[in-house]
Amino acid sequence: MINFELDEEQKLIRETVIGFARDEIRPYAREADEKGAVPASLLQRGWELGLVQGIIPEEYGGSGSEHSALTGAVIAEELAYGDLAIAMHLLAPRLLTVPLVEFASSALKRSLLPAFCGDVFEAGTAAVMEPRFDFDSSAPATVLRRDGDEYVVSGAKCYVPLGSQAKHIVVLAGLANGDGTVHPQAVVVARDTPGLRVGGREKSMGLKALETTSLELDACRVPRDHVLAAGDERAMRRLADLWHVGLGAMAVGVARAAYDYAREYAKERRAFGQAIAQKQAIAFMLAEMAMEVDAMRLLVWEAAWKLDRHEDATREAYLSKRYASDMVLRIADNALQVLGGHGYIRDHLVELFLRNARGFATLEGLAIA
């Protein structure tokens, strides 16, 4: 039955994350961007919130909460509200742990999950994108083929968060169908696998505080059970949906950050004898932002809710991510416009929001719900 309110546990988690984003993340957002690094102390404090450990079953050392895409979306939005790059860094381990929890064999879980239940930040990641103009996550060019009891992965990846730090990587590859087409398949690859080469740090318009690297896989051999939910196309669609919802939720966070920033500025800033927010041209831009932030969130939550019911949510996840990607750009651009010349200089955060906002439409697999 229709309900637009989070449950008590989700509210509690949200409150915690809101406080952390406001008090710990946001104050470091500019510095992290300029320096290209997230302070270690911040990572550690973020780790202690238990956002990674929470969904790991107790038998592997975690808190054993059921994995909820909706809760994941709430966390992603709030952290990204603080800062997108820092949020992605903090949540990067989930790129590995969520697929493991959902799709891995017990043996693989036992082997990999306990490392994420310790006291210090443990990096994990996924390698989804490929350095091609026409990258399509529904048909990756990275090749996965079976060879006896093992699988062999070959290909090139880019935008791998914490690529040089993570010991294990969920790699998206294409497994050949009979008809010449491929279907996507996620496979866990250890960084020390022969044939795997982590590239240098990538440089992007935004996300400067987040380390991303390229990855080359030259006939990397992986054990059979490292292929997650092998042959289960529905599971792989679900994984893609979780990526979409994760990024969509982060887009909501960035959009809301830009909107809040612009609104507060517009109320303070005076011109022509009034606060600039009193001008219709500015006020209507702000009103649209407010409306669209809510619209984005509702669409993302609907997709997350469907995933939590284990229904097919591919359409909802895909469309809500597209919508959120378009809107976050529009909102960040308008927020900068509200600040005018002040928005263009790096004294204010809106230019950072704009640079980060632009990534959503093309980036995939950098977050997971």
Partner 1 sequence: MIDFELSPEIAAMRDQLHMLAEHAMRPIAREYDEREHEKPWDFINMMWQLSKSSGIGPGAAKDGKDKAPERDRNLRTVVAVEELSWGDAGLYLSIPGPGLGGAAVMAVGTPDQKQRFLSRFKDDKPVWSAMAITEPGAGSDSAAIQTTAVRDGDHWVLNGTKIFCTSGLMAGDATKSNGFVVVWATIDRSAGRAGIKSFIVDAGTPGMTVAKCEDKLGIRASDTATLIFEDCRVPLDNILGSPEVPKTSEGFKGVMATFDATRPIVAASAIGVGRAALDFVRDELKKQGVEIRYGVGPRKLTAIERDFMDMETQLQAARLLTWRAAWMMDQGQKNNLEASMAKAKAGLVVTQVTQKAVEMLGPLGYSRELLLEKWMRDAKINDIFEGTQQINMMIIARRILGYSSKELS
- What amino acid positions are annotated as catalytic residues? 364
Name the binder of 70 from its own copies, partner 1, none, CB < 5-8 A by kind.
partner 1
For 175, the enclosing helix (H) or strand (E) is strand 168-176
Q: Which is nearer to partner 1, 110 or 132 (CB)?
A: 132
Does 298 participate in binding partner 1 (rule CB under 8 A)? yes
* Smallest distance from partner 1 to CB 273, Å: 8
* Smallest distance from its own copies to CB 281, Å: 5
> Does residue 157 contact residue 185 with C-beta atoms inside 8 Å?
no
Q: List Cα–Cα distances, 120 to 44, 46, 173, 233, 345, in angstroms.
A: 6, 10, 30, 35, 36
* Smallest distance from partner 1 to CB 41, Å: 25
Helix, coil or strand: residue 193: coil
Helix, coil or strand: residue 172: strand
> Does residue 161 contact residue 96 with C-beta atoms inside 8 Å?
no
> Does residue 173 contact residue 126 with C-beta atoms inside 8 Å?
no
> Does residue 349 contact residue 29 with C-beta atoms inside 8 Å?
yes
Does 322 participate in binding partner 1 (rule CB under 8 A)? yes
* Smallest distance from partner 1 to CB 279, Å: 8
Q: Which is nearer to its own copies, 198 or 276 (CB)?
A: 276
Name the binder of 190 from partner 1, its own copies, none, CB < 5-8 A by kind.
none
Q: Which is nearer to its own copies, 284 or 298 (CB)?
A: 284
301 burial level (CB within 10 Å; 0-12, 13-18, 19+): buried
Q: Please give the Cα distance from 327 to 311 (Å, whole number).
A: 26
Q: How many residues bind its own copies (CB under 8 A)?
A: 4
Q: Please give the Cα distance from 277 to 283 (Å, whole number).
A: 5
Q: Which is nearer to partner 1, 122 or 316 (CB)?
A: 316
Selected binder of partner 1 within 119, 120, 133, 147 (CB under 8 A) = 133
* Smallest distance from partner 1 to CB 172, Å: 13
Q: In degrees rounded to 5, what are phi and psi of residue 298?
A: -60, -40
Does 132 participate in binding partner 1 (rule CB under 8 A)? yes
Q: Which two tokens stand for residue 43?
A: 């990572």
Region near partner 1 per CB under 8 A, out of 48-56, 174-182, 227-235, 342-350: 342-350
Does 288 participate in binding partner 1 (rule CB under 8 A)? yes
Q: Which is nearer to partner 1, 97 or 320 (CB)?
A: 320
* Smallest distance from partner 1 to CB 148, Å: 32
Region near its own copies per CB under 8 A, out of 32-40, 48-56, 273-281, 348-356: 273-281
Q: Which is nearer to partner 1, 70 or 112 (CB)?
A: 70
Binding mask 275-304 for its own copies (x = CB under 8 A): ----xxx--x--------------------
> Does residue 247 contact residue 364 with C-beta atoms inside 8 Å?
yes
341 burial level (CB within 10 Å; 0-12, 13-18, 19+): exposed
Q: Where do contacts with its own copies occur on this chain (CB under 8 A)?
A: 279-281, 284
